[in-house]
Amino acid sequence: MESMTNKDYYSYKSAIEAANDTQDKEALRQIQKQLIAKYTLDNEDVRDLLRKFRYSV
């Protein structure tokens, strides 16, 4: 399992916030897939980022 850097965390967080603001559920789906594929759900940062989703995907 790869470790998430602070830079990656804040890049994903910014992308999630932008997708939330524009109600872009497809973008959120893609972000979710990328996070899980790259880091897995065992990663606390991934779980934290997924909690920031404003919409169900």
Q: Is residue 56 part of a domain?
A: no
Residue 37 included in any domain = yes
Decide if 24 is inside a domain. yes
**pLDDT band for position 45 (50/70/90)?**
very high
Q: How far is CA 38 from CA 21, 22, 23, 27, 32, in A?
A: 25, 25, 24, 16, 10
Question: pLDDT tens across 15-34, in order?
Answer: 999 999 999 999 999 999 99
Would the pLDDT of 1 be above 80?
A: no
Residues, the chain: 57
User: Do the Cβ atoms of 1 and 39 come closer than 8 Å?
Assistant: yes
Provide the residue range defining the domain that includes 38: 6-51
Alpha helix (H) ranges present in 1-57? 6-21, 25-39, 44-51
pLDDT at 42 > cutoff 90? yes
- Counting the structural domains of the chain, the total is 1
Q: Which two tokens stand for residue 52?
A: 């920031």
